[in-house]
């Protein structure tokens, strides 16, 4: 991706509450399903944390030391402002790093959580390469775009195959987890308010100001057009796909 486009994407997304579908209640639900051992402070990595929507929930809910990883320092700056406001900054260490070159030690973490981000390197690459950083018995909590039906309208199929060819059924994602020596323990779907109220609608409300800040440039308009197309597709076909939240234990 060219530099200007990245700068525009940062500009569009940094002031929003989250950078992908999700929700506070759903992060808490995932933590509950993971059945964490709270008898000692937990070491957690939040990978592809964006501006920290999930990170601050982890920090509020748990006695934990959290490493918040994102390759965009601009998002991590927002995360630091937000975590200070929430009074949880001392629990969070931001780390600007690519998720495919993590500097962690073997068996360092009790939990690895990644919301709406693993697709950047692909689900299978992500979950297999992160496994060694989990303690034996440690928990992986990862959300991944997922087909809800074996049959899909061709327009939708073509769009997502272009955007993310690894999109697949939950059964296929669970099989990948099993093949890479995880024991899948729970799975649930993000409800549509996680896409619309929590992500798409706030983003849509920021389009006009984004275009004005960027002088109605062709590149800015192109980004808005792409986001609008993605939103329209979701509104039309939301019965066919969502994010699945997968909870699995390292065995």
Structure tokens at 172: 């296929």
Q: What is the SS3 assignment for 2?
A: coil
Q: What is the SS3 assignment for 134?
A: strand
118 or 134: CB nearest ligand SAH: 118
**Cα–Cα distance between 145 and 20 in angstroms, integer?**
11
53 sits near ligand SAH (criterion: CB under 6 A) = yes
Residue nearest to ligand SAH according to CB distances in the complex: 50
**Cα–Cα distance between 205 and 126 in angstroms, integer?**
32
20 sits near ligand SAH (criterion: CB under 6 A) = yes
94 sits near ligand SAH (criterion: CB under 6 A) = no
Binding segment (CB under 6 A) for ligand SAH, from list 71-79, 133-141, 203-211, 226-234: 71-79
Identified binder of ligand SAH from the candidate list 8, 31, 54, 195, rule CB under 6 A: 54
Structure tokens at 178: 């099993």
18 or 82: CB nearest ligand SAH: 18
18 sits near ligand SAH (criterion: CB under 6 A) = yes
CA dihedral (214, 216, 217, 222) in degrees, to 10, reads 110
CA distances (Å), 190 to each of 29, 146, 195, 241, in order?
Answer: 11, 10, 8, 10
CA dihedral (91, 145, 34, 48) in degrees, to 10, reads -20
**Cα–Cα distance between 73 and 96 in angstroms, integer?**
6
Identified binder of ligand SAH from the candidate list 29, 80, 120, 129, rule CB under 6 A: 120
Give the number of other CB atoms < 10 A from CB of residue 19.
26
Q: Phi-psi category of 98—alpha, beta or left, where left has phi over 0 and alpha has psi -120 to 50?
A: beta
Binding segment (CB under 6 A) for ligand SAH, from list 68-76, 130-138, 223-231, 243-251: 68-76
Write down the least CB distance from residue 13 to ligand SAH, Å: 7
Q: What number of chain residues touch ligand SAH (CB under 6 A)? A: 21
Query: Pattern of binders to ligand SAH over 31-50, x per CB under 6 A?
Result: -----------------xxx
190 sits near ligand SAH (criterion: CB under 6 A) = no
145 sits near ligand SAH (criterion: CB under 6 A) = no
Binding site for ligand SAH (CB under 6 A): 18-20, 22, 48-50, 53-54, 70-72, 75, 98-100, 115-117, 120-121
């Amino acid at each position: 991706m060219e530099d200007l486009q990245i700068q525009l994407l940062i500009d569009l997304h940094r002031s929003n509450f989250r950078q992908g579908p999700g929700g506070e209640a759903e992060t808490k639900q995932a933590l509950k399903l993971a059945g964490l051992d709270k008898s000692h402070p937990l070491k957690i990595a939040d990978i592809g944390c964006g501006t920290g929507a999930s990170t601050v929930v982890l920090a509020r809910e748990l006695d934990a030391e959290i490493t918040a990883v994102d390759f965009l320092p601009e998002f991590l700056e927002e995360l630091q402002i937000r975590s200070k406001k929430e009074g949880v900054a001392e629990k969070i260490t931001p780390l600007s790093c690519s998720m495919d070159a993590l500097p962690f030690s073997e068996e360092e973490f009790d939990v690895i959580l990644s919301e709406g981000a693993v697709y950047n390197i692909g689900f299978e690459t992500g979950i297999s390469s992160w496994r060694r950083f989990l303690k034996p018995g440690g928990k992986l909590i990862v959300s991944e775009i997922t087909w809800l039906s074996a049959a899909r309208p061709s327009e939708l199929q073509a769009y997502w195959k272009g955007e993310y060819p690894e999109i697949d059924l939950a059964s296929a994602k669970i099989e990948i987890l099993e093949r890479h020596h995880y024991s899948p323990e729970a799975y649930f779907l993000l409800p549509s308010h996680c896409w619309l109220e929590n992500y798409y609608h706030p983003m849509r409300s920021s389009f006009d100001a984004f275009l004005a800040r960027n002088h109605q440039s062709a590149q800015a308009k192109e980004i808005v057009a792409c986001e609008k197309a993605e939103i329209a597709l979701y509104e039309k076909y939301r019965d066919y796909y969502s994010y699945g939240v997968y909870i699995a234990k390292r065995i």
